[in-house]
Amino acid sequence: MNTSEPHVGGVSVLHITIVLMSLAMTIGAYLYSRHQVDLQVENRFHAAKDRTIGLIVDRMSRYEDALWSGVAHVDALGGQTTRFDWKAFAQSLKIRERYPGANSFGVITYVKRGDFARFQAARAAEGPDFAVYPEHDQDFMLPITYIEPEDINAAVVGLDVAHETNRRAGVMAIRDSGAARITGPIFLVQDSGKTPGFLFYAPFYRGGKPQTLEARQDRFAGVVYASFVVRKLVEGLLSKDLRNVRFSIQDNDKIIYDEHSVEDASQDDTPMFSETVTLDMYGRNWVLDIRTNKTFRQENGSEQPMLILIGGLIIEILIFSLLVMLARSNRRAQNYAGELTVDLRAKTKHLEQANAEIEQFVYIASHDLRTPIRGIGYLADVIEEDLEEIFGPLDDRAEIKAQFKMIHERVNRMNDLTKGIMEFSRIGNYEAETPPSMNLKRLIADCVVDLGVEKPQIRLSSEVDQITCDSHNFRRVFEGLITNAFKYHPDPSTAQIDVKIEDQGDRLKISVKDNGNGISPEFHGRIFDVFQTLRKGEEPESTGIGLAIVKKAVQRHGYNIGVASSEKEGAEFTFFWPSGALSQDPALSEVA
């Protein structure tokens, strides 16, 4: 470790910077994931809200269509509809099956006081027991003349709606407008529960629909209407058990329907979302207060962002702990070497032992670090499978798919990083296991097969046929340089690698030259450092350890490696290698 580099408690500033940057990325991933989850949940609320509103609007539109069908029926009979005509028409509509929520479907006739006797005689001819009630002082009457289903609504036949302000005002408003309208809140006579309701009117006129206000007032004949108890209307829309939102309806200052009851087991006192929506409902302003319930909270609680944060923090802690232990171990080794006063052999022997322990520690620590990393990858797979069981295939949920891709990419990168650290720590431990020599042409052929490139793309010009010294690490250096040349080439299919080996007696001079993008001179001193990478844009991921491994393998033999390159001009790496047995001083070998 360079003693001139700033340290904090044995860990270099560079290491701290790396950990902080990684921590920032983890927190950023958590915040992004949290935002995406919140956005998805909010969209689900809006979808539930829009569905509820859409059901109300659609149902009222269907009721309006039924009313205009009734108007068309009255007009088709020239305004001379009878009780039996209306019963047949209502039965054809199948009110109870097609229009749930409607209490009744009937006709209210506009009768001037002077015409009442003729009107009463016509009704008496259709059947007994028809009477108009209650008495009032208006100069016209609006009796309910026909109603279906008649069996459960017989009590309201003959009810003169002109006696009550909301009912009367509603009829007069639609008379003048010619459009369908609803009344303000009322209590229906046939509703024993006396819960809020309303009437829905559609006007009809003598001689068809007039085009002017004066003509409409003069030729007004009555209305086709439907009566509703709001509670039954909502029950006919969608059962509360099938909704994860609750709502109330307010008409002006009066609550006509309310699901925000403390007696409701699914009531959420602090809903995740709530919104107030005003609907122009056929001449009335309905204000809907829509809130989520406990079911919505249970179905949309996601642990995914927290799992990402916890997993990321675990990785950061493991990495930082590893760096701290490495730094402390390395510093102890250096202090130990500096304090030795015995001869060179004793020093090198102790230092060799210390380095072996460090390398073994790095190897074991890196190996053990891979276990929790695999666990995180497995946990991400389990979560993804659970989400697919809940929401179905995630192909249409691009945000969730992208987040899991990001987790897997981070896990793969950590696997590559720990693998690189393990390999870096084991440089020099293979000499005793290495075959005595390695054929260079065979090495080139292996690279062609391993990299999946064409044979002419790697050209060899060599004064020797065999590598007889530390062939295992030579292969590692050679393959590392060749692999990098193809990996970072803008178009690997056009890459051209020229390998030249010169025999200089006790050493070989090897150069590996490519025709890639090259490396800017300002980075030549950095590319061989551990964890250094010049990756740009969409280039492949890099751990920043590969060239550090190359450099360490070369330096074990007392040599160094250099690069000659400029941007867009390709790069040429040059290094030396022993031509026979290890050429360096044995003491240096032990120190290495």
DSSP calls for 208-238: S--SSHHHHHHHEEEEEEEEEEHHHHHHHH-
The DSSP code for 140 is E
Mean pLDDT to the nearest integer, 81-108: 87
**Amino acid letter, 374:** R
Domain 77-235 CATH (choose: 3.30.920.30, 1.10.490.10, 3.40.50.11890, 3.30.450.350): 3.30.450.350
pLDDT at 489: 87
As a whole number of Å, the end-to-end CA separation of the chain is: 14
Range name among 259-268, 450-459, 463-472 with the lowest pLDDT average: 259-268
Residue extents of the structural domains in the chain? 7-42+303-425, 77-235, 239-298, 431-591
Say how far apart CA 558 and CA 357 lie, in whole Å: 22
Render pLDDT for 524-571 as a digit per residue (tens, 0 to 9): 877 877 655 655 545 555 556 778 878 888 888 889 998 998 888 889
As given in the structure block, the two tokens for residue 456 are 């002419």
Render pLDDT for 216-238 as a digit per residue (tens, 0 to 9): 999 999 999 998 888 888 887 76
Render pLDDT for 325-338 as a digit per residue (tens, 0 to 9): 887 887 787 777 66
pLDDT exceeds cutoff 50 at 136 = yes
Element at 523 (helix H, strand E): none
As given in the structure block, the two tokens for residue 366 are 């890196």
Render pLDDT for 345-397 as a digit per residue (tens, 0 to 9): 666 665 666 565 555 555 555 545 556 666 676 566 767 676 777 766 766 66
As given in the structure block, the two tokens for residue 579 are 């031509």
**Closest CA relative to residue 302, chosen from 21, 42, 481:** 42
**Amino acid letter, 367:** H
Confidence of residue 78 (pLDDT cuts 50, 70, 90): confident
Mean pLDDT to the nearest integer, 300-320: 80
Q: Give the up-direction half-sphere exposure of residue 226: CA atoms within 13 A in the CB hemisphere.
A: 29
Place of tokens 């390999």: 423
Three-state DSSP class for residue 400: helix
Percent of the chain with pLDDT over 70: 77
pLDDT at 450: 85
The answer to whether the CB of 71 falls within 8 A of the CB of 204 is yes
Q: Phi and psi (nearest 5°) for 438?
A: -140, 130
Is the CA virtual torsion 460, 464, 465, 469 positive or negative?
negative
pLDDT at 102: 85
Task: Confirm whether 77-235 and 431-591 share one CATH topology.
Answer: no
Rounded to 5°, angle at Cα 23 from 17 and 27: 145
- Give Cβ neighbours of residue 96 (< 8 Å, ≥ 6 apart): 149
Three-state DSSP class for residue 330: helix
pLDDT exceeds cutoff 60 at 417 = no
Say how far apart CA 483 and CA 489 lie, in whole Å: 10
pLDDT at 204: 95
Order of strands, sheet of 144-148, starting from the edge strand that comes earlier in the sequence: 144-148, 102-109, 220-229, 197-205, 181-182
The answer to whether the CB of 346 falls within 8 A of the CB of 336 is no
As given in the structure block, the two tokens for residue 293 are 């319930």
The answer to whether the CB of 408 falls within 8 A of the CB of 377 is yes
The DSSP code for 159 is B
pLDDT at 4: 45
Q: Please tell me the pTM assigned to this model.
A: 0.50
Render pLDDT for 510-520 as a digit per residue (tens, 0 to 9): 999 999 888 88
| CATH number, domain 431-591 | 3.30.565.10
